[in-house]
Amino acid sequence: MRQFQDLGHEVLFLIGDFTGMIGDPTGKNVTRKPLTPEQVAENAKTYKEQVFKILDPEKTQVVFNSEWMGKMNAADLIQLAAQQSVARMLERDDFKKRYANQQSIAIHEFLYPMIQGYDSVALKADLELGGTDQKFNLLMGRELQKHFGQTPQVVMTLPILEGLDGVQKMSKSLNNYIGVSDMPGEMYRKIISMPDDLIWRYFELLSFRPMSEIEQFKAEVEAGANPQPVKVKLAEEIVERFHGKEAAENAHKGAGNTLRAGEIPEDLPEVEVATAGQAEMPISAVLRMAKLVANSNAARDVLGRGAVYVDGQPCEATLKLAAGSEVVIQAGKKKIARVKLV
């Protein structure tokens, strides 16, 4: 979208507050629980500050689809629904699979593509961007525009970016994401800690480097070169885009101050944490009981910043340590101890 803006186009950034109360069924094998108006409003709060880290505010108009959908009455909605058939809806892959497996499809789920498609009518869109998983919904916009006498929009689909696990799509709910609002150091650490074979996908979808240069990096690594310097290039480029060059340089320097596997000092304080008969214990509780943080809030904060390392490796907030394990835990730059769960 930013590249379109740089070419002189205006972006209509649509927040689907109305459709959010239906729940996007894309890729779901069960009916998704609709959000309440309060939940939708809460989710929308940070959208603007996040999107303007990328888009030019002067060339961006933020719109909410409740502006037109909220004015529709029952007759309008039935008239809209009459423009498509159940057979057409069952052409959609996830609906087709659920129907074949005799899994429930709620009527309101059929309405989701219709309403998303009507957004294009209301906005008189010339072009709509979306992930490849949204193709059916985007094409629905073209069909409805034709019905309402408009020139059908161009549809441009983009590949879905895998999360840091390299398996599922990037999602906050799966905790495998890099947030555009992440602090520079956290963003940097997440990138350089990703699996080696994932960096090429991130280069392809996120970097502005020429593909010829990326292919050269890949050839060198496949020939035996250390992939870490290439990860550093990727991390610095992405951090600079969201936080500026100085922040990227500082993130790189800060990463050098973090303990890594194989560089753990021998003379560390040793702490025993009582598991009270539990088979495993959440890392947040271990941090607190080992006195590496002051309280639960501090544990959440340091984990949220990606500043906790177990045996030199970054850990997720969901990590649980087994009773009997002995590990070196670093929280932030200064707090570190050899911790044994007893």
The third-level CATH classification (topology) of the domain covering 270-341 is 3.10.290
Distance of CA 201 to the CA centre of its chain: 15
Amino acid sitting at position 61: Q
Q: What is the pairing mode between strands 11-15 and 313-314?
A: unpaired
Contacts of 280 (CB under 8 A, 6+ apart): 320, 321, 322, 323
Answer yes or no: are the C-beta atoms of 201 and 178 closer than 8 Å. no
Q: What is the DSSP string of 178-210?
A: --TTS-HHHHHHHHHTS-GGGHHHHHHHH--S-
Residue 261: per-residue pLDDT: 46
Confidence bin at 35 (pLDDT 50/70/90) = confident
Q: Could you read off the pLDDT of 136-194 as tens digits, one per residue? A: 999 999 999 999 999 999 999 999 999 988 888 888 777 788 888 888 887 888 898 78
Which SS3 state, helix, strand or coil, does residue 35 take? Answer: coil
Tokens of 325: 């394990």
Neighbours of 114 (CB within 10 A): 20
pLDDT value at position 158? 94
Question: Would you give the distance in Å from CA 233 to the centre of its chain?
Answer: 21
Q: Give me the count of residues in the chain.
A: 342
Mean pLDDT over all residues of the chain? 87
Helix (H, G, I), strand (E, B) or coil at 239: helix
Q: How confident is the model at residue 118 (pLDDT cuts 50, 70, 90)?
A: very high
* Angle, in degrees to the nearest 10, between helices 228-243 and 184-192: 150
Q: Which of 238, 301, 189 is nearest to 292 (CA)?
A: 301
Q: Taking the mean position of all CA atoms in its chain, how far away is CA 231? A: 19
Annotation: CATH topology of 1-158: Rossmann fold (3.40.50)
| pLDDT over 60 (residue 341) | yes
Per-domain boundaries in the chain? 1-158, 172-256, 270-341
Instruction: Give the pLDDT band of residue 22 (cuts 50, 70, 90).
Output: confident
C-alpha dihedral, 296 to 298 to 299 to 305, nearest 10°: 150
CA–CA gap between residue 32 and residue 22 (Å, rounded): 8
Nearest CA-CA partner of 236 in 184, 196, 272, 296: 184
Superfamily of the domain at 172-256: Tyrosyl-Transfer RNA Synthetase (1.10.240.10)
- At residue 234, the 3 state secondary structure works out as helix
pLDDT score at 316:
84
Once rounded to an integer, what is the mean pLDDT over residues 82-92? 92
CA 106 vs. chain centroid, Å, equals 27
Tokens of 123: 């906005």
What the block records as the tokens of 226 is 């250390």
Q: Give yes or no for residue 108 having a pLDDT over 90.
A: no
Tens of pLDDT, residue by residue over 187-223, are 888 898 788 889 999 999 999 999 999 999 999 999 9
